[in-house]
């Protein structure tokens, strides 16, 4: 790695227990750089894919944070907790789950698919009046979070061991799988909370390609650090010549190929990321310029 701090994107398989910020702190210590950020929080009890941006690549975090996410989950029927997961206190119980069939539960999960308004858990990082909801919850404040527009692209039952039910889902960024379990439990009139959660993918990035937390602690990231272009396969790319690159470095627009329109586009020079910009009206507009 030399003496320069690393720059790029790392995929880490977070184990249950540490917070997402704990993983960031591990990366900062192991790689001796302060410029580390993650692109989407995982609850401490959850495991799976956490994407870190290092060095100047922290400026790319917003293009990864909004990607859809895939999960494997286990929920327990018959109990609701105040956090909607196993870490919380039980606030309601029901034995109605005993009369439910596998088909009924599978149908209830499938009914959750599609665009919808979801009420975030009170114990969450969503903000209300400028403050995190979990801070209000810890003070015992009774507040009602505002529903948020989310989309559940697909969801299906994968395991049946009542009162525990396994399922998989792919959903939009900002969707709480804990809230899915809560809502399915209410739909079934039997309550439910999340017992296990594992994030298996973020966009086209899979947890199978991630390094372990132990490898990160040891600084063993060789072969795992993605450059900016490889980390953003979902975005269109446009190479430019030397003359255009000079203008873009100075923040000037340059001609774009006829008919090209894109709200976010990777501008490449000699196969390296020069800038992120937009295209429209026959012009290429640089918005974030890097030292390519």
Q: How far apart, in whole angstroms, are the C-alpha atoms of residue 8 and residue 251?
A: 23
Catalytic residue positions? 43
Provide CB contacts within 8 A for 41, sequence distance 6+: 20, 125
Q: How far apart, in whole angstroms, are the C-alpha atoms of residue 243 and residue 237?
A: 18
The token pair at 169 is 């889902």
**DSSP state string for 46-102:** -EEEEEEEEGGGGGGHHHHHTS-EEEEEEEEETEEETTSBTTS-EEEE-SGGGG--H
Closest CA to 46 of 84, 18, 77, 10: 18
Say which DSSP state 226 is in: B
Q: The tokens 């494997």 sit on which residue?
A: 72
Beta carbons of 128 and 119 less than 8 angstroms apart = no
The token pair at 217 is 């602690």
Say which DSSP state 21 is in: H
117 forms beta bridges with 149
């Amino acid at each position: 790695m030399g003496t320069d701090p690393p720059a790029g994107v790392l995929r880490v398989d977070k184990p249950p227990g540490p917070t997402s910020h704990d993983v960031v702190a591990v990366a900062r210590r192991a790689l001796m750089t302060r410029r580390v950020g993650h692109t989407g929080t995982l609850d401490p009890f959850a495991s799976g894919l956490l994407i870190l941006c290092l060095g100047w690549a922290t400026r790319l975090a917003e293009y990864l944070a909004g990607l859809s996410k895939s999960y494997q989950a286990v929920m327990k029927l018959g109990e609701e907790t105040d956090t909607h997961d196993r870490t919380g206190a039980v606030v309601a119980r029901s034995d109605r789950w005993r009369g439910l069939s596998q088909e009924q539960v599978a149908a209830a999960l499938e009914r959750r698919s599609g665009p919808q308004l979801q009420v975030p858990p009170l114990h969450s990082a969503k903000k209300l009046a400028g403050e995190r909801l979990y801070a209000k919850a810890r003070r015992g404040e009774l507040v009602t979070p505002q529903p948020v527009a989310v989309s559940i692209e697909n969801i299906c039952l994968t395991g049946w061991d009542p009162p525990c039910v396994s399922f998989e889902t792919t959903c939009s960024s900002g969707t709480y799988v804990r809230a899915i379990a809560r809502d399915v439990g209410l739909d079934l009139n039997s309550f439910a909370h999340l017992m296990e959660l594992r994030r298996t993918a973020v966009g086209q990035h899979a947890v199978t390609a991630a390094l372990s937390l132990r490898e990160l602690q040891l600084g063993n990231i060789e072969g795992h650090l993605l450059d900016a272009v490889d980390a953003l396969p979902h975005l269109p790319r446009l190479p430019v010549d030397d003359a255009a690159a000079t203008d873009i470095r100075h923040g000037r627009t340059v001609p774009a190929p006829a008919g090209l329109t894109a709200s976010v586009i990777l501008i490449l020079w000699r196969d390296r990321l020069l800038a992120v910009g937009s295209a429209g009206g026959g012009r290429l507009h640089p918005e974030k310029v890097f030292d390519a």
